[in-house]
Structure 1
């Protein structure tokens, strides 16, 4: 077997703060297989982006992203900022709360990640380019507006509750829904009127095992878009229950669409959920960049 040299970027604060433990487990597994691991621990928000943008990568087999979706988000943005496209693949080491991209590829443990580093193959990864009025960000999971943002804001305030915080935040949203007017364009198709949320998905899962977009793939060059129009609290409860297994897509008020670009305009700036982080405001345009990066799967 070829001897690999892996660059590991570790977020020690992601999820339940299991990043360093996951890094130690991965290092033991790779060393037993004769591989070398260079570990860099992030010092705060944005540091993983800086590392991925500035590191000398030519001698590494892959970048191991040890953390959650936020850590992968930063690494992806760093790689996309490089002056020449980064050909180095990303290996996902799940150590966050949601781990949506890891779930997409059934990577459930550090052992799974080590196996992909040793025996996996690079596969294309689509990236969502999200353009706001004064900035551009790259996403690999979701770009959400409305309740998708409200729930995340509430969940962050309940972080001490661990993974259950998303369910509690969703229940609070059901009790006190916030309906907003918006103008949405998906490719050349225009939709107007009040909405509860609009979410552009690159992955099937969002948050912790919420099967938001059952048909989403990360290599098809398409966005899977969910729109929810105003509905009763009872139906809203069924929608959020259905997200657990994907059965929500056929409920009243839900529109499940696909396209390559979505634009959202609102009457006033509204906050956004970009890969689980509250970042920026409307208006936005999210466009798929097909096969912009690579994953080890």
Structure 2
């Protein structure tokens, strides 16, 4: 009897863990809108901000770090000005940008220095690169900055010669990558925490012959049989202190069950679902969003 009870408890823990894992497996859509170089390094008379090597380098490093966590679906959106215009239009913004969160970053500090030491029979030369990175994380559905952080990274290499023998300290271009990467790595954990603390959301794009077309598909972790809650957005009120519109908590008005997912590119994938509970007004789909069952 005791063994049976223990077995039952283990089974319940395993089922709970499976449900928990399933809830956490849905990926958030993240777009890196802009990563600029705000320092004077690598800027000449012919500098073109639309073709910024250091900014692209930092953007690629951040994309790689976020992708390696397997928690995000990354969407390439480098046309920053267009994104800002979309954010300012209000209403249905997430569908237009195609992302839940927008990351705006910049390299705020960059420096390279050589430190040498000369002794009687030996000499050493150290190259040190320091980089500072600033990042803002925007909740696309509200346009509000939900996280802002800065971090510094450092990378160095040392070459030593004894009585004229040994490796000479040549210019090491990889130190830039390492310093920027070190700074970004310090911020990634906070980005992950802020994104995953916000409820996963999707949107009803259309209603066709009783079937509900929902944004997101297999690449986000959605599968046939998944059930979601349809929420009606809360009323928006203006905060007199900040002048910003604040959306009040919404209310659950129905449930959807996924029949199938379709689409090739991750950003174009959709899910087809049926309404199993409640009712949805097809004329005001912008008033709803879909989230996980609690």
TM-score normalised by the chain length of structure 1: 0.27
Q: Which structure: larger Rg?
A: 2
Query: Which structure is richer in relative contact order (CA contacts within 8 A, separation 6 or more)?
Result: 1
Task: Answer 1 or 2: which has greater strand percent.
Answer: 2
TM-score normalised by the chain length of structure 2: 0.27
